[in-house]
């Protein structure tokens, strides 16, 4: 059910949960300080309790109230990239951020989204936790209809149309005096070089040690359809292909187009919509054209598709 910004904010202030557009994907919002509303988010999404939430705020100065320490470089990153698709993890002032939001960690993640409706909601309703507005494990929602498919047609959604980026924010954590990427996202690693003086490294979950980003442990972005992501095995025939609009595929294949193979922004924007389209059409198996570069935003696209295929 589509709701107005006034209605959305009124519901949030009353302890409700509302889907809100951001520039990356739709978020499932609740007031950060309302632990019952936050617990409802975990239930609605069927989200593991060990997976912490990102706190969204209307501007960088809000973070001071909740951060124990502001790490080196934070101000510069916030100044350059906020509002925008960047999440920064900082040590938490524990009594200011409910344990359930942090999933018991000593840190808390923050982001200022670059979407007018989201910013308006944050200004009117205060800090909001917002995980992606999909059932846990499914592709994120980039359109209001996606939220309604996952959470029901009566679920309140603030309609901001299709999201611009289509993939989630890049998450940075400050550790041993450097920022590192704990989740790839809409901002590629090299976007930070000029401002940090180095390209942040990408940290991967290591077997046997606690992951820096708990969400990386869980199944993600996956449609029901089986995705075949073996680059070497371009099929002679197959029923369904997830591919590019500027390429040709074997005759008889039905092609779902991610966009042009030269335009990673377009491909990222369409990715979850196409993964969801496979299930809407009842597709059992699709071959994914993975023949694309491995730099910049393509790195994120590659990681998302492999996760969706349960291949990493």
Q: Binding residues for Mg ion, per CB under 5 A?
A: 132
Of 221 and 240, CB closest to ligand TXA: 221
Residue with tokens 């980026």, as numbered in its chain: 165
- Three-class SS state of 289: coil
CB of 68 to ligand TXA, least distance (A): 12
C-alpha to C-alpha distance for 306 and 308, rounded to whole angstroms: 5
CB of 182 to ligand TXA, least distance (A): 6
Question: Contact, 227 vs 309, CB < 8 A?
Answer: yes
CB of 60 to ligand TXA, least distance (A): 16
CA 283 to chain centre: 24
122 binds ligand TXA (CB under 6 A): no
Instruction: Check the CA dihedral 273-278-279-280 and report its sign.
Output: positive
* Pairing relationship of beta strands 226-228 and 285-288 according to DSSP bridges: parallel
Of 69 and 284, CB closest to ligand TXA: 69
Select the binding partner of residue 22 from ligand TXA, Mg ion, none (C-beta < 5 to 8 A, by kind): ligand TXA
168 binds ligand TXA (CB under 6 A): yes
Among 12, 17, 109, 128, binds ligand TXA (CB under 6 A): 109
Cα–Cα nearest to 267, from 282, 283, 289, 248: 289
CB of 76 to ligand TXA, least distance (A): 20
C-alpha to C-alpha distance for 48 and 119, rounded to whole angstroms: 28
Among 142, 169, 270, 299, binds ligand TXA (CB under 6 A): 169
227 binds ligand TXA (CB under 6 A): no
Tokens, residue 70: 């502001």
Select the binding partner of residue 12 from ligand TXA, Mg ion, none (C-beta < 5 to 8 A, by kind): none
107 binds ligand TXA (CB under 6 A): yes
Eight-class DSSP state of 81: H
Question: Contact, 77 vs 88, CB < 8 A?
Answer: yes
Question: Contact, 29 vs 45, CB < 8 A?
Answer: no
297 binds ligand TXA (CB under 6 A): no
105 binds ligand TXA (CB under 6 A): yes
228 binds ligand TXA (CB under 6 A): no
Buried b (16+ CB within 10 A) or exposed e, 119-128: bbbbeebbbb
Question: Contact, 131 vs 53, CB < 8 A?
Answer: yes
24 binds ligand TXA (CB under 6 A): yes
19 binds ligand TXA (CB under 6 A): no
Among 16, 71, 131, 166, binds ligand TXA (CB under 6 A): 131
C-alpha to C-alpha distance for 295 and 232, rounded to whole angstroms: 19
Interface with ligand TXA by CB under 6 A: which residues?
22, 24-25, 27, 51-54, 85, 87, 89, 102, 105, 107-109, 111, 113, 130-132, 168-169, 171, 182-183, 213-215
């Amino acid at each position: 059910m589509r709701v107005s910004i006034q209605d959305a904010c009124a519901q949030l202030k009353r302890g409700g949960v509302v889907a809100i557009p951001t520039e990356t994907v739709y978020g499932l919002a609740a007031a950060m300080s309302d632990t019952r509303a936050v617990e409802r988010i975990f239930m609605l999404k069927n989200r593991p309790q060990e997976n912490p939430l990102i706190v969204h705020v209307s501007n960088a100065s809000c973070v001071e109230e909740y951060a124990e320490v502001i790490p080196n470089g934070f101000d510069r990153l916030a100044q350059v990239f906020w509002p925008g698709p960047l999440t920064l993890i900082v040590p938490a002032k524990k009594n200011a951020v409910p344990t359930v939001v942090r999933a018991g960690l000593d840190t808390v993640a923050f982001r200022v989204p670059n979407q007018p409706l989201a910013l308006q909601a944050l200004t009117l309703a205060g800090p909001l936790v917002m995980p992606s507005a999909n059932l846990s494990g499914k592709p994120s929602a980039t359109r209001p209809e996606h939220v309604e498919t996952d959470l029901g047609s009566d679920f309140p959604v603030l309609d901001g149309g299709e999201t611009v980026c289509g993939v989630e924010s890049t998450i940075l954590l400050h550790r041993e005096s450097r920022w590192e990427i704990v989740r790839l996202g809409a901002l590629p690693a090299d976007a930070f070089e000029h401002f940090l003086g180095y390209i942040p490294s990408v940290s991967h979950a290591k077997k046997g040690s606690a992951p820096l980003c708990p969400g990386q442990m869980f199944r993600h972005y996956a449609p029901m359809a089986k995705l075949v992501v073996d680059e070497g095995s371009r099929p002679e025939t197959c029923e369904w292909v997830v591919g590019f609009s500027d390429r040709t595929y074997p005759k008889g294949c039905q092609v779902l187009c991610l966009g042009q193979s030269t335009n990673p922004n377009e491909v990222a924007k369409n990715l979850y919509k196409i993964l969801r389209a496979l299930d809407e059409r009842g597709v059992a198996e699709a071959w994914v054209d993975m023949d694309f570069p491995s730099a910049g935003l393509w790195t994120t696209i590659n990681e998302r598709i492999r996760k969706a295929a349960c291949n990493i």
